[in-house]
């Protein structure tokens, strides 16, 4: 007689989201390669890192992109790449490589543009932001963290392999670790601005499909014109309560 139960246990355990997806793999390789190059040639950090003064007055328009691939230390790049792998892989599987890659760069460049804009605001730390050098993938990674928390807010993640907590809280913890590690690198004093910019850019991009400001304005305008034409030709949707003979359906 064959047993109804398997001879071996079906219990299995795995760490992380599984195999690295194409975009995540390419981003990790690019970040590690850039990190090694800047270790050999530190002067490149000044040219490729984000400095609002250089972008505005020196027209170094590549900096809002290249700064994402530079890091200030081993722990800085380690935590960023770890977070990118843990939370980005599943998003790329769900969205596809093309959309995920676009989302990643929108978050990172959006974080850079936020930093530049803030440097011109009438706030006490604007001068520091304007002249400081910011590097790291944290802005883009924060966008990935936000997206994961939005799509899988209550998914249990085992912290230290034993304590399950909802993904939204785990993301907050990982985000705090990434923030603290990035503050050890150049431009750490303005890291908050860049991180918040990444969060804002990611949220606006993900919600853009629902908001579509221009489409909403066009819809409101067309609705106004239709209502105006109805009144002009004495057409009332659903009928008028004061004149049953004038109802048009």
Q: pLDDT tens across 219-247, in order?
A: 666 777 777 776 666 655 554 445 444 44
Task: Compute the distance between CA of residue 122 and CA of residue 45 in angstroms, rounded to an integer.
Answer: 28
Q: pLDDT tens across 169-198, in order?
A: 877 877 676 556 555 544 444 577 888 889
Task: Compute the distance between CA of residue 4 and CA of residue 71 in angstroms, rounded to an integer.
Answer: 55
Q: At the top level of CATH, which class does the domain 22-211 belong to?
A: mainly alpha
More confident residue, 131 or 12: 131
Across the strands, what pairs with 166? 156
Task: State the chain's mean pLDDT as an integer.
Answer: 79
Distance spanning both ends of the chain, measured CA to CA: 73
Is residue 142 scored above 70 in pLDDT?
yes
Q: What is the largest CA-CA distance in the chain?
A: 87
Weakest-pLDDT range from 4-8, 41-45, 230-234 = 4-8
Let me know how long the chain is. 249
More confident residue, 36 or 246: 36
Task: Compute the distance between CA of residue 92 and CA of residue 100 in angstroms, rounded to an integer.
Answer: 5
**29-36: average pLDDT:** 97
Question: What interhelical angle do 138-151 and 167-182 show, nearest 10?
Answer: 170
Contact (CB, 8 A) for 22 and 88: no
More confident residue, 8 or 114: 114
Task: Compute the distance between CA of residue 97 and CA of residue 65 in angstroms, rounded to an integer.
Answer: 19
What pLDDT, on a 0 to 100 scale, did the predictor assign at position 247? 43
Contact (CB, 8 A) for 193 and 114: yes
Q: How many CB atoms lie within 10 A of CB 103?
A: 23
Domain boundary assignment for the chain: 22-211, 213-246
What pLDDT, on a 0 to 100 scale, did the predictor assign at position 6? 42
What pLDDT, on a 0 to 100 scale, did the predictor assign at position 8? 40
What pLDDT, on a 0 to 100 scale, did the predictor assign at position 159? 67
What pLDDT, on a 0 to 100 scale, did the predictor assign at position 12? 36
């Amino acid at each position: 007689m064959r047993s109804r139960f398997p001879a071996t246990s079906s219990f299995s355990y795995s760490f992380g989201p599984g195999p690295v997806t194409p975009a995540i793999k390419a981003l990790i390789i690019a970040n590690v390669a850039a990190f090694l190059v800047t270790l050999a040639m530190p002067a490149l950090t000044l040219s490729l890192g984000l400095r609002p003064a250089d972008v505005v007055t020196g027209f170094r328009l590549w900096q809002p992109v290249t700064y994402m691939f530079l890091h200030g230390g081993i722990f800085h790049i380690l935590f960023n790449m770890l977070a990118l792998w843990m939370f980005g892989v599943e998003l790329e599987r769900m969205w596809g490589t093309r959309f995920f890659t676009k989302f990643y760069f929108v978050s990172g460049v959006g974080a850079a543009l936020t930093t530049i804009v803030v440097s011109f605001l009438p706030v006490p730390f604007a001068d520091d932001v304007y002249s400081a050098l910011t590097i790291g993938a944290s802005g883009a990674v924060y966008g990935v963290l936000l997206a994961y928390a939005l799509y899988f807010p209550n998914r249990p993640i085992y912290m230290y392999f034993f304590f399950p907590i909802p993904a939204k809280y785990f993301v907050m913890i990982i985000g705090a670790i990434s923030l603290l590690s990035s503050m050890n690198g150049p431009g750490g004093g303005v890291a908050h601005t860049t991180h918040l910019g990444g969060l804002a850019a990611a949220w606006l991009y993900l919600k853009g499909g629902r908001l579509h400001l221009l489409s909403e304005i066009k819809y409101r305008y067309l609705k106004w014109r239709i209502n105006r034409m109805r009144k002009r030709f004495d057409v009332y949707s659903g009928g008028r309560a004061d004149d049953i003979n004038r109802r048009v359906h």
